[in-house]
Amino acid sequence: MKVLVANLGSTSFKYRLLDMTDESCLARGAVDRIGEPVSQCSVTIGDWSDSQQQSVPDHGVAVEACLQQLTDPEHGCLSSPSDVSAIGFKAVHGGRISGVHVVDDDVLSAMSEMNSAAPAHNPPYIAAMRTLAEKVSDIPLVAAFETGFHLSIPEARRTYAIPSEWTEALNIQKWGFHGASHRYIATRMSEILGRSDARVISCHLGGSSSLCAIENGQSVATTMGMTPQTGLPQNNRVGDFDPFALPLIMQHTGQSLEQVLQRLANECGLLGLSGRSADIRDIEVAAAEGDARCQRALDVYVAEIRRHLGGMLVALGGADAICFTAGIGENGATIREAVCAGLGDLGIELDAARNADPSTNELGEATVHGEASRTQVWIVPTNEELIVARQCCQLLQANE
């Protein structure tokens, strides 16, 4: 079974084609600047790579271009588009619908109901799914919702202190996101540690960041709440924020609620704190050069990670392993060092040399804890596409 896993943006389509007989990646590619006069289409199949410019007006045409690349007579890895068993999507927010579903009108309707909660994610996915359903109608579309992994979180950690009718009628609760990434870490750490009952804290730190407490392979707590705008400071999203500050901001700026929310979702986080960049690499360089605002941005980011890390440790009653993943988690030695600093009494100690220059295996994994650390500390690159492909296979096989 071959599964095409799609990662959509409003003007982009990135994909990986996986052969699920051995879970190998056959191809990866991207179409950028969809809808512009000239789009860029790139593909890598084995040792062969190609990049071309062509007109790609919508995501449906992007998928058609992708399938043409994959079935190229000389370099392709598919004999025909029908070799693809499903197109899987790492869908974000379905509200009343979670888990894994074949995309139909009810799934799209449920996603539309959550547009205001996930404005950067849901609308482009819905538009693309509708287009694809028309243009590649013979290939099943499967939505694997990021909220699905967190359905195991106990009710006490999922429920906001709001009137019950809001919770029940509007599906307002702490849903949690980055489900595919945290699910992969849960699965992989179980394999690494050789046990299914391990207590693991997954630190997905990147352009978008969240922590997840994992016990017996299941999510029992996470930092993001009702929307991906909550929890840790994101690259340009605010993270946790007191809603009662909104009237004051509106009075001061003269902006509407919609305008203020737009700024909280696009001009805050690391970008708002630093006043310079949403990329932590740029912020670290500027901080090293003496930029006080950039240093404060780093300090706030680390302080929030540590605050939530403490909550995860309490939820689990301690941890067998802490796992750093995603762009910052995997590559940010100074962030890992700052997060773990002074936690020796909690049984968490880094090895400075290992952390600065990790000795990775073929999967990019490495240990960075010291010999005296009671808690193992790992770097593990995530693989969200593999998780989505596995979920697609499980759904299709169950429906046969």
Domain boundary among 144, 159, 183: 144
Give the distance, in angstroms, between the CA of residue 28 and the centroid of all CA atoms in the same chain: 18
* Residue 357 labelled as part of a binding site: no
Q: Is 275 annotated as a binding residue?
A: no
Is 139 labeled as ligand-binding?
no
Residues 177, 98 contacting (CB under 8 angstroms): no
For residues 185-205, average pLDDT: 97
Looking at the fold, whether 226 and 358 belong to one and the same domain comes out as yes
The CATH number linked to 94 is 3.30.420.40
Predicted local confidence at residue 109, as pLDDT: 96
Residue 283 backbone dihedrals phi, psi, to 5 degrees: -65, -40
Residues 222 and 294 in one domain: yes
pLDDT higher than 90, residue 204:
yes
- DSSP annotation of 344 reads G
Instruction: State the average pLDDT over residues 270-283.
Output: 95
- Identify the band that residue 198 occupies on the pLDDT scale cut at 50, 70 and 90: very high
Is 336 annotated as contributing to ligand binding?
no
Residue 234 lies in a domain: yes
Q: Is 384 annotated as a binding residue?
A: yes
Can you tell me the distance from the alpha carbon of 51 to that of 358, in angstroms, rounded to the nearest whole number?
Answer: 33
The reply to whether 234 and 304 lie within a common domain is yes
Note whether 75 and 216 are same-domain residues: no
- Find the range with the poorest average confidence among 55-64, 156-165, 321-330: 55-64
Q: Does residue 180 form part of some domain?
A: no
Range of the domain at 205: 195-384
For residue 72, pLDDT beyond 80: yes
Is the CB of residue 369 less than 8 Å from the CB of residue 336? no
State the average pLDDT for the chain.
Answer: 93
Alpha carbons within 13 A on the beta-carbon side of 86: 26
pLDDT of residue 118: 87
Q: Looking at the structure, do residues 254 and 360 belong to the same domain, yes or no?
A: yes
Query: How many whole angstroms separate alpha carbon 175 and alpha carbon 202?
Result: 17
Q: Is residue 313 part of a domain?
A: yes
How do 210-215 and 100-102 pair as beta strands? unpaired
Same domain, 215 and 297: yes
Which residues touch 201 (CB under 8 Å, ≥6 apart)? 211, 212, 213, 214, 309, 312, 313, 316, 319, 321, 322, 323
Q: In what order do the strands lie in the sheet with 24-32?
A: 48-54, 39-45, 24-32, 12-19, 2-9, 84-89, 141-144, 100-102
Looking at 85, 113, 144, the residue that finishes a domain is 144
Q: Considering its fold, how many domains does the chain have in total?
A: 2
Residues 214 and 112 placed together within one structural domain of the fold: no
Q: Is 281 annotated as a binding residue?
A: yes
pTM over 0.85: yes
Residue 235 labelled as part of a binding site: no
**Does the annotation place 328 within a ligand binding site?**
yes
Residue 138 marked ligand-binding: no
Residue 152 belongs to some domain of the structure: no
Picking from 146, 144, 223, 182, the residue whose alpha carbon sits closest to that of residue 380 is 182
Domain check: are 110 and 236 in the same one? no
User: Is there a binding annotation on residue 279?
Assistant: yes
Question: Among 325, 385, 387, which Cα is nearest to 358's?
Answer: 325
Judge whether 165 is annotated as a binding position. no
Q: Are residues 217 and 135 in the same domain?
A: no
Q: Verify that 200 and 139 share a domain, yes or no.
A: no
What's the CA gap between 55 and 45, in Å, rounded?
Answer: 22
Q: Does position 120 have pLDDT exceeding 80, yes or no?
A: no
* pLDDT higher than 80, residue 135: no
Say which residue the tokens 């990646």 belong to: 25
Write the single-letter amino acid at 178: H
Distance CA 368, CA 335 (A): 13
Give backbone dihedrals phi and psi of 133, rounded to 5 degrees, phi first.
Answer: -60, -30
pLDDT tens digits for range 289-311: 999 999 999 999 999 999 999 99
Whether 140 and 201 map to the same domain: the answer is no
Which tens digit of pLDDT belongs to each residue from 324-346? 999 999 999 999 999 999 999 99
In a shared domain, residues 204 and 137:
no
